[in-house]
Amino acid sequence: MEAMRIEAFLRVCVTLLLITTACLVRFDSQTTLIFTSYSRTATFRDLNALFVLVFIDISAAGYNLIQLVIRGLLYSHWKPDMKGPYKHLAWFSFLLDQAVVYMIFAANSASLMVSVYGVTGEHHLFWMKLCNKFNRFCTQIGGALLCGYVASLLMAVVSFLSAYSLFRHYSPKTFLVLK
Amino acid sequence: MEAMRIEAFLRVCVTLLLITTACLVRFDSQTTLIFTSYSRTATFRDLNALFVLVFIDISAAGYNLIQLVIRGLLYSHWKPDMKGPYKHLAWFSFLLDQAVVYMIFAANSASLMVSVYGVTGEHHLFWMKLCNKFNRFCTQIGGALLCGYVASLLMAVVSFLSAYSLFRHYSPKTFLVLK
């Protein structure tokens, strides 16, 4: 039961952090003068990594909400055994939690990598740096990525807990046999 | 014991795939004429995502080799219990395996994202496309990334197995108590 309460608390934190990240990226925009009479607005749509990040973060937050609802409904008559629906729920949570951590960590890292090009540019490839023009935009994206990494870390702990609550029901002697 | 043999086999596959990916990226280079009298050589050093990918893939391959050596040495007198060094090894493997999957999956995804800019360019940001000039270079990177994703997938299965072989020794009734 302790594991369940910790897990529920962590899922709430992860959901809030993911929504914060998604909103910070989604509503980030800055208009600036690039050449003397040509102004441009930078939004998350300009970088497909950021677009993917918003999509993945919102999906992951939705998944965590569904998990919280399912666990809330089951909580009153929860038994720590692995009969019928509990076994399926445990496997389903384990696999999806793992997948969600991989996705949000990878989306964050991809955005970070692309943002690094925004900050430094890539002289060899004739890619110009952008963050000297779009200063506030870049700072907000930086904050969002920090928030996203904290969410990934907490989600990794959630996935450890769901692996723990699945596998502790299996026999230590024979392979993939329930106790 | 079945789990151990499957795990060892998967670790060998992952190591080979990671080394293949790293070599494909490391030794990829193409010289081409960009303007009429200006030629450029593209290597993995031009994109820091690829540089990070090579570094992470070689580290992960090294980690898997160390794991194989440790398990090879312990194999003859392996007992499926959790006393003394076995418990520490199981926790150590579990945590590091998880970290390795996150790292290689994230490095691959970041490289993929950057490669997409290489293929399509980003007109809004004045980033030019590169793969029309460096065709063979880009194809080889594509092959390397495919190889890297297969390695990530197999490594995820390894991390499931190490979570399984750690947590099945814990009690299904009380929190974090060994059976």
A109: contact with B, CB 8 A cutoff = yes
Q: Is A164 helix (H, G, I), strand (E, B) or coil?
A: helix
Residue B59 maps to a domain: yes
- So what's the pLDDT on residue A121? 76
Report if residue A42 sits inside a domain: no
**Number of structural domains, chain A?**
1
Q: Please check whether residue B37 lies inside any domain of the structure.
A: no
Cβ distance of B175 and A114 shorter than 8 Å: no
User: What is the pLDDT at residue B177?
Assistant: 72
Angle at B34 between CA B30 and CA B36, to 5 degrees: 130
In angstroms, the Cα distances linking B169 to A7, B67, B159 are 21, 20, 16
Alpha helices in chain A (DSSP H): 2-26, 48-75, 85-120, 135-167
Say yes or no: B114 contacts chain A, CB-CB below 8 A: yes
Inter-chain residue contact A168 with B166, CB threshold 8 Å:
no
Residue B29 contacts A where some CB pair is shorter than 8 Å: no
Span A107-128, average pLDDT = 81
Residue range(s) defining the domain that contains residue B121 = 2-31+44-167
- Residue B52 and residue B62: Cα distance in Å, rounded? 15
Structural domain contains residue A175: no
Residues 145-174 of A with CB under 8 A from B: 156, 160, 163-164, 166-173
Instruction: Please answer yes or no on whether B106 and A101 come within 8 Å at the CB atom.
Output: no
**A176 in a domain, yes or no?**
no
For residue A37, being part of any structural domain is answered with: no
Chain B residue numbers with beta carbons less than 8 Å from the beta carbon of A2 are 175
pLDDT tens digits for range B93-119: 899 999 999 999 999 999 998 888 888
Q: Is residue B36 part of a domain?
A: no
Q: What tokens appear for B158 in the block?
A: 């390894």
ipTM over 0.90: no
* pTM metric for this prediction: 0.87
